[in-house]
């Protein structure tokens, strides 16, 4: 291998390794993603910076092609196409903002990090190194965000070895004394193994099975079921569940779809013997498979609506919760927006049947755990696989 090709090749391989390890689904390995800014900064040309960014992002999101193929019951090509398209914003932002000027490079990286946090680029802002803040600086809250941001900028400078050693020290100390977030008192998340039938099987028997599960899990508790657990949220389904919970002190929070003539909302509803309400409308449904904005441009229906910055918290009884549905656990702005309003705890649900054979659900869980640890919040998780 020629000398002038050796360093770029090693940088790209190292970026792929960082993406693979950091986004393996093990929460304590998230800080491996902090290698990415170092590798990006060491690129000698814009094209190498773009290839380093591509290697990191594609490795981190490697489960997408198989997941899409399972979701659409098709071959890998649609998933590969979406995989590559999703990388365009990450690679483009980091390529455009890369510079040879070492003095301004940390500020350029800060701009790239911020752009990948919020819409429009943040819509596909997966694998953001800032997610590791909860592992490196657990319970530091917003000061932890300040510290990880300063650390990311420091990794771009000539002082990066000292900064990397300091961050590694915090990481090892955290790992040595790590404990997962606690459940809030009186709440319980229920994982289901109903595969693709959850939300699609609208039979009375399916609702009876879910009712039995809820009643079995908790008298006097709030039970959380996964995304899409109740299917379409209709007046009939609403009455069925209210009647089923009559005479109990159980409250249930569950995923459903609220439909109308223009499309649908991916929602969380809360139900008890006293009644029900839509608790939360998803801010960022999965782009492509759920959120399809081009449909409205063509005056077509069928797309999930994205509520971007709406309802960052929701009230359940005397508590304020920060809800996250599925895809929102992979990106940054929904959780930061929720934490800005200081909820009592986080409720994270998902329906990951289509991710079988990938680490996507494990990554979602790891992300939710990391954010809960950063802000010292109890956490309720409920997933279907």
Report the percent of the chain where pLDDT is more than 70.
98
Closest CA to 71 of 286, 293, 295, 266: 286
pLDDT of residue 2: 61
Better-predicted residue by pLDDT, 308 or 295: 308
Confidence (pLDDT) at 248: 94
CA torsion sign for 284, 198, 131, 347 is positive
CA atoms lying within 13 Å on the CB side of residue 192 = 28
Pick 294 or 267 by higher pLDDT: 267
Q: Quick one: CATH architecture of 187-384?
A: 4-Layer Sandwich (3.60)
Say which range, 193-197, 255-259, 300-304, has the weakest mean pLDDT. 300-304
- Per-residue confidence (pLDDT) for residue 4, from 0 to 100: 72
Query: Which one, of 222, 273, 267, 217, lies nearest residue 243 by Cα?
Result: 273
334 touches 125 (CB < 8 A): no
pLDDT by residue (tens digit) across 154-206? Answer: 999 999 999 999 999 999 999 999 999 999 999 999 999 999 999 999 999 99
Share of the chain above pLDDT 90, in %: 85
Rounded-to-integer distance, Cα 17 and Cα 280, Å: 37
Query: For the segment 112-159, what is each residue's pLDDT rounded down to a tens digit?
Result: 999 999 999 999 999 999 999 999 999 999 999 999 999 999 999 999
Contacts of 63 (CB under 8 A, 6+ apart): 355, 358, 359, 360, 363
pLDDT at position 15 over 70: yes
Write down the domain spans for the chain. 3-176, 187-384
- Give the number of C-alpha atoms closer than 13 A to the C-alpha of residue 373, restricted to the C-beta side: 24
C-alpha distances out from residue 123 to 68, 73, 96, 115, 362, Å: 17, 25, 18, 10, 20
How far lies 364's CA from each of 61, 282, 359, in Å? 12, 16, 9
Give the model's pLDDT for residue 71: 75
What would the mean pLDDT of 220-227 be, rounded to a whole number?
Answer: 95
Beta-carbon contacts of residue 295 (< 8 Å; ≥ 6 apart)? 263, 301, 302, 303
Nearest to 128 by CA among 18, 14, 267: 18
Query: At which residue do the structure tokens 């960014």 appear?
Result: 53
Q: How many CB atoms lie within 10 A of CB 103?
A: 8
Give pLDDT, residue 297.
83
Give the pLDDT score at 83: 83
pLDDT digits (tens, 9 = 90+) for 49-75: 999 999 999 999 998 888 877 776 666
- End-to-end CA gap in the chain: 45
* Predicted local confidence at residue 80, as pLDDT: 76
pLDDT of residue 67: 81
| DSSP state, residue 30 | G
**CA-based diameter of the chain, in Å?**
76
Which letter does DSSP use for residue 284 in this model? S
């Amino acid at each position: 291998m020629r000398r002038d090709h050796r360093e770029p090749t090693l940088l790209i391989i190292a970026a792929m390794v960082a993406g693979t390890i950091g986004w393996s689904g093990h929460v304590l390995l998230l800080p491996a993603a902090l290698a990415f800014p170092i590798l990006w900064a060491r690129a000698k040309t814009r094209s190498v910076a773009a290839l380093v960014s591509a290697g990191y992002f594609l490795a981190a999101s490697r489960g997408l092609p198989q997941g899409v193929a399972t979701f659409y019951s098709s071959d890998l090509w649609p998933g590969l196409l979406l995989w590559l398209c999703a990388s365009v914003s990450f690679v483009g932002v980091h390529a455009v903002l890369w510079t040879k000027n070492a003095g301004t490079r940390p500020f350029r990286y800060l701009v790239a990090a911020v752009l990948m946090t919020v819409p429009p680029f943040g819509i596909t802002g997966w694998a953001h190194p800032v997610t590791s803040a909860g592992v490196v600086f657990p319970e530091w809250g917003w000061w932890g965000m300040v510290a990880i941001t300063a650390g990311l900028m420091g990794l771009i400078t000539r002082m990066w070895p000292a900064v990397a050693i300091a961050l590694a020290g915090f990481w090892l100390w955290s790992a040595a004394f790590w404990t997962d977030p606690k459940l809030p008192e009186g709440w319980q998340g229920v994982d289901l193994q109903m595969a693709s039938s959850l939300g699609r099987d609208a039979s009375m028997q399916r609702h009876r099975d879910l009712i039995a599960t809820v009643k079995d899990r908790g008298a006097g508790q709030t039970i959380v079921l996964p995304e899409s657990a109740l299917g379409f949220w209709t007046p009939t389904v609403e009455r069925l569940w209210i009647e089923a919970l009559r005479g109990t002190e159980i409250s249930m929070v569950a995923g459903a779809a609220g439909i109308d003539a223009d499309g649908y909302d991916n929602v969380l509803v809360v139900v008890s013997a006293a009644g029900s309400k839509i608790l939360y409308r998803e801010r960022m449904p999965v782009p492509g498979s759920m959120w399809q904005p081009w449909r409205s441009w063509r005056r077509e229906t069928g797309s999930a609506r994205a509520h971007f910055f709406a309802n960052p918290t929701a009230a359940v009884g005397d508590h304020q919760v920060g809800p996250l549905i599925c895809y929102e656990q992979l990106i940054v702005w929904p959780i930061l927006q929720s934490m800005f309003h200081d909820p009592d705890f986080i409720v994270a649900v998902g329906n990951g049947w289509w991710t079988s054979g990938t680490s996507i659900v494990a990554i979602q869980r790891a992300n939710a755990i990391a954010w809960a640890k950063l802000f010292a919040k109890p956490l309720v998780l409920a997933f279907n696989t």
